[in-house]
Every structure is written in C-alpha cells, then in structure tokens.
C-alpha cells in the first residue's frame, strides 16, 4: 500500500511543535518557587544593641527598655507558665532579689492569657516587672522562637548575654547571675545554691 502524504496542516504544525517541546520540558524540570518565602532572620548576638523594645505591664503602663537600660542593666526574660519554666522561676526570683538594690531590673514577659498570669503572679509572689504577651510579638522583636529566652542588657543598651531553653536545675540563672554581677561590679551571688538550700530546708524531716 502506498504511504499517505501528511496533510498540509500537519506540515505547518510539525516545526512549531518541535520548537515548543524543549520549552515545555524545561518548564516541568524547573523547581517551584514559593511566593511567600521569607529570608531567614539572623538572631541577636552578644555585643549588639538591644532592640527598641516597649511593652505595657498588666496595669497598662508602658515599659520602655531604652529608658531602663539608660540607668543600669536589665534582664529580659521571655517565658511562660509551663512546668519547666515554673521550676526555673525561683532561680530568677533569687537573681532579681540579689541585685535589684544594686540597679538590676528584671523584666519577665509571659506568653499566656492575662487572667492566668495575674493568678500565677500572685501565687508565685513575683517581685519583678512583668507583662503579658499572649500573641508572642515580643519573641519576634527579639528574633527568637525559644521558650524561654533570656537577654541580659548592659547599661547603655548593649546585649551582654543571651541564653535560650529551659534549665530547671538553675545553671542558666547561675551563669546570668555571674554576668549581672560583672556588669554591676558586685560579687556574684550563687542563686542556684541559694534556691537549692531553701528547697532542701523546706522538705519534711525524715
């Protein structure tokens, strides 16, 4: 049987299809790009200037980090009321008590509901500045996702120490206590030993 000649239309389309095929393959092999991709945020480092951080306390009064650090060192603690942070709280209360008369200001920011923090603060007898940030905006300002995160700010606004993560044993608080003492020119208080001894004394006698 004699071979059929291609139609005039096929003759016209063949070159066009041959030209388009490589483009289609290239397009299929190209990795998709996310339109909402955001560049990675570099965390703060020791030695950098602290952010312009402002937050209102539970009474509605503004707490301005720049104003506080102009007078002396400030310890900013981004925290919550979870079991780990709760066990760590006494060490930071001891740290606050050890240096507040020498000029250290401790500020705790809780990622909890207002009512819960109010009850928690009364129960734990929190004697330091504290505020509520249930939406976690403060974590964005301080470029961290860790719970908790601690930032020790020297007088003038420079970050002197950073610690992240929870340590119920009190070692993080002890290290920050030593850093704070250095900024204040004071002898370091072993807040870990102080709390551990108090806890041991509170245990019922065997």
- For the chain, what is the mean pLDDT? 87
User: Rounded to whole angstroms, how far apart are CA atoms 182 and 188?
Assistant: 8
For the cut 60, the answer to whether the pLDDT of residue 149 exceeds it is yes
Mean pLDDT of 93-113: 97
Report helix, strand or coil for 163.
strand
pLDDT of 15 over the 70 cut:
no
Tens-digit pLDDT profile for residues 170-188? 999 999 999 999 999 999 9
Do residues 64 and 54 touch, judged by C-beta distance below 8 A? yes
Residue 110 has pLDDT above 70, yes or no: yes
Tell me the percentage of the chain whose pLDDT exceeds 70.
Answer: 81
Residue 19 pLDDT exceeds 50? no
pTM recorded for the entire structure:
0.80
In the chain, what are the domains? Answer: 54-196 (3.40.30.10)
- Using the structure block, give the residue that is written with the tokens 């208080």: 189
């Amino acid at each position: 049987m004699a071979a059929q000649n291609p139609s005039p239309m096929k003759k016209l389309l063949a070159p066009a299809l041959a030209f388009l095929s490589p483009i289609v393959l290239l397009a299929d092999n190209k990795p998709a790009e996310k339109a909402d991709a955001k560049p990675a945020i570099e965390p703060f480092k020791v030695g950098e200037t602290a952010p312009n951080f402002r937050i209102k306390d539970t009474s509605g009064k503004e707490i301005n980090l720049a104003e506080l650090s102009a007078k002396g060192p400030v310890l900013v603690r981004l925290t919550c009321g979870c079991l780990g942070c709760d066990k760590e709280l006494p060490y930071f209360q001891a740290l606050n008590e050890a240096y507040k008369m020498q000029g250290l200001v401790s500020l705790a920011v809780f990622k909890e509901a207002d009512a819960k923090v109010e009850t928690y603060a009364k129960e734990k007898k929190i004697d330091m500045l504290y505020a509520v940030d249930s939406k976690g905006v403060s974590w964005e300002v301080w470029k961290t996702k860790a719970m908790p995160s601690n930032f020790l700010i020297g007088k003038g606004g420079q970050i002197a120490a950073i610690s992240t993560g929870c340590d119920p044993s009190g070692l993080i608080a002890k290290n920050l206590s030593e850093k704070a003492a250095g900024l204040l020119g004071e002898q370091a208080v072993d807040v870990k030993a102080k709390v551990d001894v108090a806890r041991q004394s509170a245990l019922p006698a065997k």
